[in-house]
Structure 1
Amino acid sequence: MASGKRRKTAKGNGYNRWTETEEKALYELSNQGFTDPEISKQMNRSVSSITNRRFVLRERGLWENMEVSQYRGYQEQEKEKE
């Protein structure tokens, strides 16, 4: 029987929507040969979210048509927003 109390987990990026910048970063990092655990650390996402997003983009036919122009790195782009 399940407990009535939920475990508290560290607040992560789990419920945040994927932005176009993040999707392009995922595409580029995947093409550069980074593993899913390496990508997840860089993007502050879980390994399963990386795998699932790649699957969704492929299912929608967007993965092959992803345009990546002047990719400077996801973390650099996020710093510029702040």
Structure 2
Amino acid sequence: MLEELAGTNEKNVASPLNCYIVSEGSLLAISCRPHHFGDFVLLTGDAAHAMVPFYGQGMNCGFEDCLVLSESLDACNDDIRE
């Protein structure tokens, strides 16, 4: 996996769009439009894996999730309906 990420730079990393504060504190709401597909949802990293956050594995899981998603999309020629 390290080889896959070796050429990654800030241009390859998505950033949240339409992020705004909904209340005082550290809570944020992120609009996913237009970055969703119908009624389907994809969870990655901490959101997709049942583990305690203080093990520090969420980011690693997120990287692996992105790699597996990319390989899956390649396998179906980016047709996510498959």
TM-score between the two structures when normalised by the length of structure 1: 0.29
Instruction: Name the structure with the higher strand share.
Output: 2
Instruction: Name the structure with the higher helix share.
Output: 1
TM-score between the two structures when normalised by the length of structure 2: 0.29
